[in-house]
Structure 1
Amino acid sequence: MINIREGVKNDLPRVLELIKELAVYEKAGDQVDNTVEQMEKDGFGANPIFGLYVAESNGDIVGIAIYYYRYSTWKGKRMYLEDIVVTQEHRGKGIGKLLFEQVINKGKAENCSGMVWQVLDWNEPAINFYKKYYQAYLDAEWINCSIDLSKH
């Protein structure tokens, strides 16, 4: 039995563990600088900038979905799915599907024009997962760009 619910502050230590698990899977385990305190401020402070769903099995958090809103000059308000993480031992049981659809439903309820996300080009299981939904379009044309503002 899987229960999907909105995340709360007390979930954040486990959420950060899952984020670190994902980073290791993505070969970037040393790149997670976030903290529970920062996530508490950013997700549950006066001006939350992300939302969170958790998947529970027998009272344990076994999956998460983190999202936020972005604005497209072409499409308007969009849902951005930052991460879906399901613990390795719970993959293949439909938990990712439940989390993914929960975020889609949140986007629809908030009148978003669509949902966007990223997937690493070598992550075949995730690519195949996303291809199953709503005729998802996977665009290899755009190049991701970022600047680490803490170093400037």
Structure 2
Amino acid sequence: MTIRRANEKDIPRIIDLLGQVLQIHAEIRPDIFIPGTTKYTDAELSEMLKDDLKPIYVAADENDICVGYAFCQIREQPFSNNMVQFKSLFIDDLCVDKNTRGRHIGEKLFEHVKSEAKRLGCYEVTLNVWAGNTSAEKFYEKMGLKTKERQLEYIL
């Protein structure tokens, strides 16, 4: 297993994995997510691959086939002037192919992201998890993440 930056040849597999994530989200929140779609298009992914502030890391198997990814964003904090300034690495999306789960690929991806965050001088690694995605919550808690804030909603 190799963790590396994504490249153009990974796009078809990333699209497949984005579809898997979307399906999980659509089952949790059918009022928001549209089954059969993906978060990004091929063209958007191609542009993102060039953006060092939005690195995409992939876990590649022995045949260099992408079996998981971590979409990241380097963010400057704070969002207001009453907070200490720092850099944060935000995980926008992390997925492991449903056919390869249980092989610690997600752990390896997350550890790589943590190492990259340290290398880049980040103070923290953050992410969001949809309520109801209990397997993701358990995974991130196992990886040592703690709740930083909660976002509440009132559906009209």
Common topology (TM > 0.5)? yes
Is 2:67 aligned against 1:62? yes
Q: Kindly provide the amino acid, as one letter, of the partner of residue 7 in structure 1.
A: A
CA contact (8 A) 2:6 2:49 kept: no
**2:41 counterpart (32, 35, 45):** 35
**Displaced runs of 4 or more, over 2 A:** 28-34, 139-144
TM-score of the pair, normalised by structure 2: 0.80
**Matched residue pairs, number?**
140
Q: Kindly provide the amino acid, as one letter, of the partner of residue 25 in structure 1.
A: I
CA contact (8 A) 2:6 2:56 kept: yes
What is the CA–CA distance in structure 1 between the aligned matches of 2:24 and 2:57, rounded to whole Å? 21
CA RMSD of aligned residues (A): 1.9
Report how far residue 139 of structure 1 moved.
4.2
**2:146 counterpart (137, 141, 148):** 137
36 and 102 in structure 1: CA distance in 2 versus 1, 3 angstrom threshold: same
**1:102 counterpart (105, 109, 112):** 112
- Percent identity between the two aligned chains: 24
TM-score of the pair, normalised by structure 1: 0.82
Report how far residue 69 of structure 1 moved.
0.7
What is the CA–CA distance in structure 2 between the aligned matches of 1:31 and 1:49, rounded to whole Å? 25
Report the equivalent of 1:24: 23
Q: Which runs of 5 or more structure 1 residues have no equivalent in the other structure? A: 145-152
Q: How does 1:118-133 map to 2 (within 5 A)?
A: 118-133=128-143
Is 2:4 aligned against 1:5? yes
What is the CA–CA distance in structure 2 between the aligned matches of 1:33 and 1:82, rounded to whole Å? 11
Report the equivalent of 2:92: 82
- Match of 1:96, SS state, is helix
88 and 143 in structure 1: CA distance in 2 versus 1, 3 angstrom threshold: same
Report how far residue 43 of structure 1 moved.
2.4
